[in-house]
Amino acid sequence: MEKRFLTIDEQVRLLESRGMRCDRDTELTLLREGYYAVVNGYKRPFLDVAATSFEGEDRYLEGTSFSDVYALFRFDRGLRALTFRHLMMVEATLRSLTSYAFCSRHPKPEAYLDPNNFTQRRDYIRGEDEYEGDLRWMIDTLEHHARSRERDPRGPGRDVRVAHFQDKHDTVPLWVLVDELTFGNLKYLFALLRRDEQLCVCDGLARISQAGPKGTLTPRELERDLEAIVDVRNLCAHGERLYDARVGIDDAVDYVGFVGMVARFLDPSDLAHLVGGIETLVADYSAKSPLIARDLERTHLAGI
């Protein structure tokens, strides 16, 4: 049986009937943010598991207030904003290193349209079965952006740099076109590079992060990291819960593990800014509620 739509008043009464304290701000918060986003998204640490199981519906721990749940919601929103800001740096670094590695070995402007300039099936780190489909899709994606003038000469979506090369040179090199690609596109582009080009990207990351030779990733390790980093980027972009999310291959990476991965893309000062921002958020919101403090201990964010 489908649940019927509840008015804001009914939503508040439902929460109160389940043991959550509400106040005069609760209605406005639910109206502004939405019941599902706040309550369904962040109620888990505040549930009385035994009582919920016994009653067959949510029951909240004694002393839980709506402001507690909303504080955790706001913590996660702040964490997403901080994370997304630094992911833009990661993305910029990946764009630069990937395009440099490819263009330095394939200098012709549209070398990216030639399948022979990419890795071979047997060396493809995403697996031989994925090779042909991924390669064709990547080349089609690059060609789509490179030929955007033919679709709509004055289209509002035309990047000014791409438009300049299309109009003045009738061709667009990868080091310009790469700015049109999404983070997900870049993940596949890296995977399709030849092994020496992938190693060039890995070496560049070691220089930027000042990790030194011992901190240099292998191409396969970097491809694994990108799976998790792209997942986090998408969580941030779509406003989904981040602080206790599991990402990457087999959902094996938590947020703390993700920060370790991002450290390989950021210079030390930017990494310090990210970690310091996380520490400040954790301290501020842990002070608002012992239940939040306990949950952030559980996710190891309190000791990042």
Residue 39 within a domain: yes
Q: What pLDDT is attached to residue 173? A: 86
Rounded Cα distance between 298 and 289, Å, is 14
Residue 296 within a domain: no
Helix axes 268-286, 66-105, angle to 10 degrees: 170
Q: What pLDDT is attached to residue 159? A: 61
Q: What pLDDT is attached to residue 163? A: 65
Per DSSP, helices labelled H in the chain are 8-17, 26-33, 35, 41-42, 49-55, 66-105, 128-146, 148-151, 160-169, 174-177, 183-192, 195-209, 219-237, 255-262, 268-286, 290-298
Residue 288 within a domain: no
Last residue of one domain, picked from the residues 64, 90, 111: 64
Both tokens assigned to 110: 């549209």
> Which pLDDT band holds residue 199 (cuts at 50, 70, 90)?
very high
Residue 169 within a domain: yes
Whether 96 and 204 share a structural domain:
yes
Q: What tens digit of pLDDT does each residue of 280-299 get?
A: 999 999 999 999 999 999 99
Whether 6 and 99 share a structural domain:
no
Residue 70 within a domain: no
Q: What pLDDT is attached to residue 49? A: 97
Q: What tens digit of pLDDT does each residue of 17-70 get?
A: 999 999 999 999 999 999 999 999 999 999 999 999 999 999 999 999 999 999
Q: What tens digit of pLDDT does each residue of 111-129 get?
A: 999 999 999 999 999 999 9
What is the span of the domain harbouring residue 31? 1-64
In the predicted model, is pLDDT for residue 134 greater than 60?
yes
Interval 265-274 mean pLDDT: 96
Residue 297 within a domain: no
Cβ within 8 Å of residue 155, ≥6 positions away: 148
Residue 86 within a domain: yes
Cβ within 8 Å of residue 163, ≥6 positions away: 149
Whether 52 and 87 share a structural domain:
no
Whether 254 and 147 share a structural domain:
yes
Smallest CA-to-CA distance from 38 within 25, 54, 57 is with 25
Whether 102 and 184 share a structural domain:
yes
The upper half-sphere exposure of residue 58, i.e. CA atoms within 13 Å in the direction of its Cβ, equals 17
**Which residue is listed with tokens 């064709």?**
136
Total of domains in the chain: 2
More confident residue, 145 or 165: 145
Whether 277 and 203 share a structural domain:
yes
Q: What pLDDT is attached to residue 170? A: 63
Last residue of one domain, picked from the residues 15, 31, 64: 64
Q: What pLDDT is attached to residue 158? A: 55
Interval 231-243 mean pLDDT: 97
The rounded mean pLDDT for the chain is 92
Instruction: Identify the three-state secondary structure at position 253.
Output: strand
Whether 129 and 266 share a structural domain:
yes
Whether 88 and 42 share a structural domain:
no
Cβ within 8 Å of residue 212, ≥6 positions away: 206
DSSP classification of residue 36: I
Rounded Cα distance between 196 and 180, Å, is 24
Residue 178 within a domain: yes
Whether 147 and 221 share a structural domain:
yes
Whether 53 and 92 share a structural domain:
no
Other CB atoms within 10 A of residue 282 CB: 22
Whether 238 and 93 share a structural domain:
yes
Q: What pLDDT is attached to residue 147? A: 78
Chain centre to alpha carbon of residue 220: 19
